[in-house]
Amino acid sequence: MRKVKVWDPIIRLFHWSVVLTFVANAWAIDDESKLHQQVGWLIVALLGLRVLWGLVGTQHARFSDFPPSIPAAMRQVQDIATGRLHHHIGHSPLGAWMIYALLLGLAGLCATGVMMTTDRFWGIGWVEEIHEALMVVTAVAACVHVAAVVIESRRTGVNLPRAMITGTKVMPHDDAR
Amino acid sequence: MKLVKALPLILACAVAGNAALASSRVNETTYNEIATKMAAEGYDVRKIEIEDGEIEVYALKDGKRLEIYLNADLSVNRIKTND
């Protein structure tokens, strides 16, 4: 086995902060409260941090390290279907699609959330409806993400959740790219 | 397939997500009554709905964004300012 440093502290801080703030705002905090808005602003800041870090951060944090690619995703699906093991060091192609979906969902939630605090969009139905729809879509995506991480961890023999805590992936010696 | 086992988790999350979205419409007569009355009082009424058993009005007045909660007899119960 070899240990590969993959996720830097900023990525890990971002990841777990988003988990906490999204879960809190989606299920624990009253939608109509000041706190809900404040946590929302915190998510805006976290997203800003992530975008910046995606441009200038460490290797596997950069968006250039995991571009959304349909051919690569399909290759990964084929690998899964045929039982071929391939270890990705950073985000896998399917993982990349999920990350962008989650980032866009959160961005949409933040945008519609902020809009609802403006005079122009105060009490305007469609803004709230999109906000609520995005919440469900993002929540479902997050659940799929968790399930996929568990499934992929078992399939490839790499403890992915642990890696997002320690920053290090413990991987077999093979053709990891 | 393991995905089949993950599906109940996914659906549970979707249902949980939807359970939080519980507001309903007021009937048209009540809506018009409230809207007219409040417009006459200088409110820019944006939305009227029932949330958690109360009538809630989203409106603007004097440069403030307000949530006005009404009793069943349409009198004002309380006003919340969004700031």
Q: What is the CATH number of the domain that holds A6?
A: 1.20.950
Residues of B in contact with A143 (CB under 8 A): 6, 9-10, 12-14
CA pair distance A6, A60, nearest whole angstrom: 6
A86 found inside a domain: yes
> What is the average per-residue pLDDT within A132-146?
97
Residues of A in contact with B14 (CB under 8 A): 136, 139-140, 143
Nearest to B46 among A26, A117, A122 (CB): A122
A22 found inside a domain: yes
pLDDT digits (tens, 9 = 90+) for B9-49: 666 665 555 554 567 889 999 999 999 999 999 999 999 99
Q: What is the dihedral of CA A70, A74, A76, A81, to 10 degrees?
A: 160
**Most B CBs within 10 Å, among A119, A120, A122, A151, to test the B interface:** A122
**Most B CBs within 10 Å, among A121, A143, A154, to test the B interface:** A143
Residues of B in contact with A146 (CB under 8 A): 9
A123 found inside a domain: yes
Q: Do B60 and A119 touch (CB under 8 A)?
A: yes
CA pair distance B16, A136, nearest whole angstrom: 9
Q: Residue A59: what residue type?
A: Q
Whether the predicted pLDDT of B1 surpasses 50 = no
A89 found inside a domain: yes
High-pLDDT (> 90) share of chain A, %: 93
Q: Which residue has the tokens 């089949």?
A: B4
Does ipTM exceed 0.85?
no
Q: Do A123 and B80 touch (CB under 8 A)?
A: no
Domains of chain B: 23-82 (3.30.505.20)
Domain of residue A107 covers 2-171
Residues of A in contact with B69 (CB under 8 A): none
> What is the average per-residue pLDDT within A80-86?
92
Number of domains in chain A: 1
pLDDT digits (tens, 9 = 90+) for A18-47: 999 999 999 999 998 999 999 999 999 999
CA pair distance A138, A70, nearest whole angstrom: 21
Q: Do B17 and A135 touch (CB under 8 A)?
A: yes
A166 found inside a domain: yes
Residue B10: the pLDDT is: 61
CA of B73 to nearest chain A CA: how many angstroms apart?
22
A69 found inside a domain: yes
Query: How wide is the angle at C-alpha A39 spanned by C-alphas B65 and A36, nearest 5°?
Result: 45
A177 found inside a domain: no
